[in-house]
């Protein structure tokens, strides 16, 4: 079975400060890892994903995440927060579960607040 733990249901940073959202996963097989973002009144949008290859993954809006197998982590970072980054962020893990199904297991989400 897979699981995802996001440390901190709510993270608050100042504009221009480093954003660090933590995600640890549990998977019995090599995972595919994702970060999704949900802005107010919108659907979930893919920020970035790790499938194979380079462990440092760059996504949209200046975000990046590093897959660390030894730590079973996939933390999301951004060097400088912007007011528009305020949203809820979800870490997710996927594995093949039969046929072509790569269903996602999500963490509980982290609400990011950016203060002026």
Among 28, 29, 98, 116, binds other proteins (CB under 8 A): 98
Interaction between residue 97 and other proteins (CB under 8 A): yes
As a three-state string, the secondary structure of the chain is CCEEEEECCEEEEECCCCEEEEEEEECCCCCEEEEEEECCCCCEEEEEEECCCCCEEECHHHCEEEEEHHHCEEEEEECCCCHHHCEEEEEEEECCCCCCCCCEEECCCEEEEEEC
Under rule CB under 8 A, residue 61 binds other proteins = no
Q: Return the number of the residue (13 or 107) whose C-beta is nearest other proteins.
A: 107
Binding site for other proteins (CB under 8 A): 4, 32, 36, 41-46, 49, 51, 90, 94, 96-109
């Amino acid at each position: 079975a897979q699981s995802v733990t996001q440390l901190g249901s709510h993270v608050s940073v100042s504009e221009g400060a480093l954003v660090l959202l933590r995600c640890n996963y549990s998977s019995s097989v090599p995972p595919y890892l994702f970060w999704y973002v949900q802005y107010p009144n919108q659907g979930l949008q893919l920020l970035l994903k790790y499938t194979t290859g380079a462990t440092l993954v760059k996504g949209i809006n200046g975000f990046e995440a590093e897959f660390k197998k030894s730590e079973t982590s996939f933390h999301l970072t951004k060097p400088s927060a912007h007011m528009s980054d305020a949203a809820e962020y979800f870490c997710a893990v996927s594995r093949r579960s039969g046929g072509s199904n790569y269903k996602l297991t999500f963490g509980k989400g982290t609400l990011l607040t950016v203060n002026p």
